[in-house]
Amino acid sequence: MKGHLARLALATALLCLGIVGLRAQQYPMQDRVADRLVRKYQTSSCGQLAAERGRRPPPQKAEEEQRFVCLLHEDPQMRREFSNRVAAPIANKLFECGMIA
């Protein structure tokens, strides 16, 4: 009986790890963009964020961002995953910096 439970627990753990691994690889572009965006907000000072707010991105970066936004428009699940990853860190930083009243 113990051996059966141990095998069942192991199989369940492996299944969960497989699902997490697949989910992480489902949207690799979204993962890179989300990680980069969160890191930017976590490492930037309030002054840097305020100064950047009024500037336009370089043309190449603007084009990449536009392509990514189009992907988010086309795929609601990807959009939901992206929002879930970036919303809290960005909102917290903007509150800290007084950029959200």
At 22 the pLDDT is 41
At 23 the pLDDT is 47
Return all residues near 72 (Cβ < 8 A) that are at least 6 apart.
Answer: 78, 79, 82
- Rounded Cα distance between 33 and 11, Å, is 33
CB distance 49 to 97 below 8 Å: yes
At 101 the pLDDT is 75
Average pLDDT, the chain: 80
Domain segments of the chain as ranges: 28-96
Rounded (10°) angle between helices 28-43 and 59-74: 120
